[in-house]
Amino acid sequence: MAKTSGLGDGFLIGGYDLSGDVGSLSKISGGPAVLDVTPINASAHVRISGLRDGMIDFNSFFNTATGQEHPALSALPRTDVVATYLRGTSVGSPAACQVSKQVGYNPTRATGGSLTVATNTVANAYGLEWGNQLTAGVYTASNALTGQDTGFEGGNGNWVAVTNNTSTNSSAQAHGGTKSLSMSSTAGGDMTSASCVAGSIATQGFAVVPGSQVSAQAWVRSAVSARTCSVGIDWYTSGGAFVSTSYGTGVADSAAAWTLISATVTAPATAAFARVNVKVAATGGAAEVHYVDDVVYLLLPTSWDSLASASFGAQAYLQVTAFTGTDVTVKIQDSADNVTFADVTSLAFAQTTAANTAQRISIGNTATVRRYIATALTTTGGFTALSFSVAIVKNSVAGQVF
């Protein structure tokens, strides 16, 4: 690995991104205490490892703006805070993470007029842990569908009927605003609509690369008959040729209320463009109506290649700096081929409902984590934007975690 400077780094604590306020980090240290167990028959010291510890000490510039240094640090919370130092801000770059007690907030006003603050954090229960970033610093996933393409107010935007239906703009039902997309079947069977015509995928679709993680959401409602509905992604090559469609789990809609359908899927080999696809399965005949509203498309961070599978468990850290919506759950997935991803058992963070939160999770130190690792998002109530940072400590040796 090439030598690097400390330029372009990041620092987060308790769900606040203080990268623009922190001027220096005076200490990033950790490891086990050294216990002297030298016997009388030894001619040199004999030592064994004791309790793990860690410290991250930093200096910041005084800033009273919302979400910045002073509001984030001056409360001196008695509860734990999670501190994360990002060495560079790329997927795979190193990250030092620590569950901490903040034990200081000490401003210094120099004779020249500068006002800086020294803050100390000491590890609590887990010690300092070095891992790798699964997001490029703080990553913002926001809805790439805008205006009529997401909420159908005043029209259907680029949305078109694909199979077995007529798609029109309707004021009969609305999840948000006053309009929705109405899908009326032309015969019995599956019907689908998509966020743009296939022929315009290069200009109206979304650019992806193989292995891209994509999250989609849509709200659906039936006029009369409940059917299984799914949201997914149609994949296309750089030349516009159809590759495949990846759907999330199907959910029955209802005539009494709106139902959220969602999916987190991975772009297959040769995929270069994507569009959102909503499917209503097995309509009973012609003129069966179902409504779609508030569709969301989110491109997630690319996967990290850890170079090899390991069976020594892992720990992961999450910092949420901004959130718009009802709820989101961030989880870790892995893959052997960077194409087919699956959830890592028990490596899902607790549900997030607000910004400025942080978490640490872990799995047993005999659990297997495969070569390629990525973040995935799920929701029960919907969301439209999330700014977050995730780092994983993939243990490389047995017994790395104490």
The CATH number linked to 190 is 2.60.120.260
Residue 2 has pLDDT above 70, yes or no: yes
| Count of Cβ atoms closer than 10 Å to residue 210 Cβ | 16
Q: Is 312 part of any domain? A: yes
Q: What is the mean pLDDT of residues 282-295?
A: 97
Domain boundary among 113, 133, 153: 133
Residue 402 has pLDDT above 60, yes or no: no
Q: Is 350 part of any domain? A: yes
Q: What is the mean pLDDT of residues 294-302?
A: 95
CB of 394 closer than 8 Å to CB of 131: yes
Q: 319 and 197 share a domain?
A: no
Domain boundary among 80, 101, 133: 133
Q: 335 and 294 share a domain?
A: no
Q: 97 and 193 share a domain?
A: no
Look up residue 228 and give its two tokens: 């299984």
Rg, the chain, Cα only: 25
Q: 159 and 286 share a domain?
A: yes
Q: Is 377 part of any domain? A: yes
Q: 340 and 265 share a domain?
A: no
- The H or E element containing residue 73 is helix 69-73
Residue 400, pLDDT score: 65
Q: Looking at the 3D structure of the chain, how many domains does it have?
A: 3
| Nearest residue to 313 (alpha-carbon basis) of 284, 347, 356 | 347
What is the domain-level CATH number for residue 95?
Answer: 2.40.30
- Taking only the tens place, the pLDDT of each residue in 329-374 is 999 999 999 888 999 999 999 999 999 999 999 999 999 999 999 9
Q: Is 399 part of any domain? A: no
Q: 201 and 278 share a domain?
A: yes
CA distance 261 to 381: 10
pTM more than 0.85: yes
Residue 212 has pLDDT above 50, yes or no: yes
CB of 135 closer than 8 Å to CB of 388: yes
Structural domain of residue 100, as residue ranges? 10-33+49-133
**Mean pLDDT, the chain, whole residue set:** 96
Domain boundary among 88, 109, 133: 133
Look up residue 256 and give its two tokens: 């009494």
| Count of Cβ atoms closer than 10 Å to residue 317 Cβ | 28
Q: 67 and 80 share a domain?
A: yes
Q: What is the mean pLDDT of residues 382-386?
A: 95
Q: 353 and 269 share a domain?
A: no
Q: 119 and 221 share a domain?
A: no
Q: 110 and 171 share a domain?
A: no
Residue 211, pLDDT score: 85
Q: What is the mean pLDDT of residues 135-147?
A: 96
| Count of Cβ atoms closer than 10 Å to residue 309 Cβ | 13
Q: How far is CA 362 from CA 128, 152, 231, 331, 402, in A?
A: 14, 42, 31, 12, 12
Q: What is the mean pLDDT of residues 5-28?
A: 97
Q: Is 199 part of any domain? A: yes
Phi then psi for residue 340, to 5 deg, are -100, 110
Phi then psi for residue 151, to 5 deg, are -115, -10
Q: What is the mean pLDDT of residues 147-161?
A: 97
Phi then psi for residue 204, to 5 deg, are -110, -10
Rounded to 5°, angle at Cα 163 from 161 and 165: 60
Q: Is 1 part of any domain? A: no
CB of 324 closer than 8 Å to CB of 385: yes
Residue 281 has pLDDT above 70, yes or no: yes
Percent of the chain with pLDDT over 90: 95
Q: 25 and 56 share a domain?
A: yes
Q: Is 390 part of any domain? A: yes
- Taking only the tens place, the pLDDT of each residue in 173-194 is 999 999 999 999 999 999 999 9
Residue 339, pLDDT score: 84
Confidence of residue 1 (pLDDT cuts 50, 70, 90): low
Q: Is 3 part of any domain? A: no
- Taking only the tens place, the pLDDT of each residue in 42-89 is 999 999 999 999 999 999 999 999 999 999 999 999 999 999 999 999
Look up residue 337 and give its two tokens: 């081929």
Q: 128 and 194 share a domain?
A: no
Q: What is the mean pLDDT of residues 223-250?
A: 97
Look up residue 268 and give its two tokens: 């297959």
